[in-house]
Structure 1
């Protein structure tokens, strides 16, 4: 294990050491920022600056962009998607608002017959396929995780409203000015730092799904062949194009820095988002059971509802996990930004790995102890 922690964050290092000791050969990274200062920077089994596929953490980056565009009046949450994107119509889709889309309520979670990797990798191609697709439930009446498609859907709204893609906005507003090692579109020059993701030791993620279920459709398991998440993340085309649903590539420093830049501020620079914007996008907008994952109260606006999964986090927390087991978030009340990456899938796949509970809790406890010590 390598890296450093600031005084008071030693328990985080202890928890990280226990995680990597319990899973021999696991490559992992952990980074924590407090009010924009790096207080935890740890790695084991991979270099601290190594990059790997972080899958749906891309959704967090994409929807930080959407939040910024709403904040600046370029997007209106209560306008219909079809008013931006006229081709997105049929079977109730024309009534869907951007707010409902961000809350995973469109019902357009995939396409009949499935999608090829080349289509999943290209948001523009994917949006064209989705525009005429029948929804799998009445839009706005229920919600379910749009695993591979939400970034293409919201991204098409962004492109038509602003003339630029989510990836372009992300590069200009976040990645470049803050120097973030998190990418929606990995340049070829950075490929030497990429370390391939590995399958779980016990099972392949996504295996065994009923091909007729909403879960299978959302995760493209009804395609021929079904999408293999390990192969998908290790495909250069996916990394190069950076699809806004599933194509995040980065390090733990980059993932934590992403949320610090947007929510708490980073390296002396103010946060990209206002407090009111963070609060607005962090509120749960889809109550009840997610039809795809089975989770309760799963989504805020574009982000997973963090306190539902991590009750020790504050109401003004934005974050999202990735299928490999990665997780990133920022708690505005604590001024804490967190990023955890691993290169091996958790058995069964899907969402943040279980160790995020103990790692994030240790970071939160350390931050609160530091606050008490200053009184």
Structure 2
């Protein structure tokens, strides 16, 4: 039996990462389509890809890994004193104060403690494709729990609130700020608003492969559309949000909504975190150690009202030191529901990026653990 081909480059000392990636690709039958990239010690040490039609330059939807890029923008604005994370959102956006939201701070939103995870009646795909439209719907919505009393992941709407704060504070959209301050200066292959000229590089996301019996068993246990989990994932719309169709819609790619509309490559994801912490492409780091410390600090841990045990958040970012025990306590990043993963570990000097074109069955991605461990081991071995 021939093994699927793996393409790309690994630096000296990272051969085991290529071997582990090749094993993952083989176990997937070579059909998923994925990319793996990692910076270590300031250099691009891993740049691999495999699967039908996929190259190192391929772009695909990265879903909530978009939140990492959006958080870098917020961290940069906080570092410059333009956005204050402990100021009420309504201090920037007065309309948000309606329905008991007057005391919710930017920090509450970034740590998923606001209770604002959707709207009664749901948001359409067209509304979710546009941060401004989503924000208008959220302005009058009452929180789904007392702000600050618990946390729950707002997968599709959280950063529409943040984007409106950025717009009110700067006069520019979060996407414009990201393009001008982050993506262009650091030449990142990660877009919050994909230009038409780059469309030919985009490959659509595909649904998972499963037997009809597996599908039926899975969907029989999906929470109801008007449950906390259903609202958090946009299932309370009519029709319920189709995650595959959403990412593959040109309006979503073109607008780049800041919760889930980013498009990029593994190089772009890894490069984002390299740029934030250490700098890359001849430019210095975007964020100071003090800013990184504040945004990497644990905020929301324990049971997530929306995701169950899958939570654990820093400020805007996911707390990757809890997700991967071999990383340091202040590792931070963000994954995406279609299977992307991305993070920085300031202690070990790693910036990691992974994309895949096909959802994992049940949104499960065990290869993340294996690939992250392989990169960490290679980067920290003598």
TM class by shorter-chain length?
over 0.9
Maintained 8 Å contact 1:286/1:299: yes
Q: Which residue of 1 aligns with 2:67?
A: 59
Structure 2 counterpart of 1:315: 329
Residue 49 of structure 1 aligns to a residue whose secondary structure is: coil
Q: How many residues align?
A: 368
List runs of 5+ in structure 1 lacking aligned partners. Answer: none
Q: Unpaired segments of 5 or more residues in structure 2?
A: 1-5
Task: Give yes or no for contact 2:153–2:311 (8 Å, CA) kept in 1.
Answer: no
The alpha-carbon deviation at position 297 of structure 1 amounts to 5.5
Cα distance in structure 2, aligned partners of 1:177 and 1:274: 17
1:245 partnered with 2:259: yes
SS of 2:61's equivalent in the other structure is strand
In the TM superposition, 1:1-375 aligns within 5 A as: 1-24=6-29, 25-45=31-51, 46-202=54-210, 207=219, 208-295=222-309, 298-349=312-363, 353-369=365-381, 372=382
- The separation in 2 between residues aligned to 1:270 and 1:36, in whole angstroms, is 11
Task: Give, in whole Å, the separation in 2 of the partners of 1:133 and 1:155.
Answer: 17
Cα pair 1:183 1:242 within 8 Å, conserved = yes
Any conservation in 2 of the 1:80–1:96 contact (CA below 8 Å)? yes
**Structure 1 residue 212, shift from structure 2 partner:** 2.2
SS at match of 2:8: strand
**CA contact under 8 A between 1:36 and 1:267: conserved in structure 2?**
no
TM-score, L = length of structure 2 = 0.94
Alpha carbons of 1:204 and 1:164: their partners in 2 closer, same or farther (altered >3 Å)?
farther
8 A Cα contact 1:54 1:248, kept in partner = yes
CA shift digits 1:147-173 (9 cap, x unpaired): 001110111111111111111110011
For the residues of structure 2 that align with 1:336 and 1:359, how far apart are their CA atoms?
12
Equivalent pair of 1:181/1:251 in contact (CA under 8 Å): yes
1:107/1:204 Cα in 2 relative to 1: closer, same or farther (>3 Å)? farther
Deviation at 1:263, TM superposition (A): 1.3
Instruction: State the match for 2:3 in structure 1.
Output: none
Deviation at 1:312, TM superposition (A): 1.1
Superposed CA RMSD: 1.5
Give the C-alpha shift of residue 91 in structure 1.
Answer: 4.0
